[in-house]
Amino acid sequence: MIVQNIEAIRKHEGLRLVAYLDSVGVWTIGYGDTGPDVVKGLTITKAQAEERLRKRLREFEGYVNRTVKVKLTQNQFDALVSLVY
C-alpha cells in the first residue's frame, strides 16, 4: 500500500526551503524533513523538497507495510505513515 493523500502531509507540514530549527531543536527543511544532511544554512528548491518528501514516504510506507499485520483502510494507512513521518 502507498500513501494516497500526500497533499494532507504537505499542508500539515508546510514548506520551508531554508533549514530551520524546529520546536524541539532539530534542523528541518522542506516538508518537515530531518536527517544528518539537514544543517544550518542548507537551502533547497521546491522540486528537491518534493523529492525528499516522496523518498521519506517510501521509507515510512515500508515500515508500516512490514509492521502492521491487520488490514487497514487507505485513510488508516495514510494516517500511520504520516505519524511516522
Whose CA is closest to 2, among 46, 84, 64, 85? 64
Beta carbons within 10 angstroms of residue 65's beta carbon: 14
- Does 50 participate in catalysis according to the annotation? no
Name the catalytic one among 7, 13, 61, 78: 13
- Does 13 participate in catalysis according to the annotation? yes
DSSP 25: S
Name the catalytic one among 22, 37, 51, 59: 22
| Enzyme catalytic residues | 13, 22
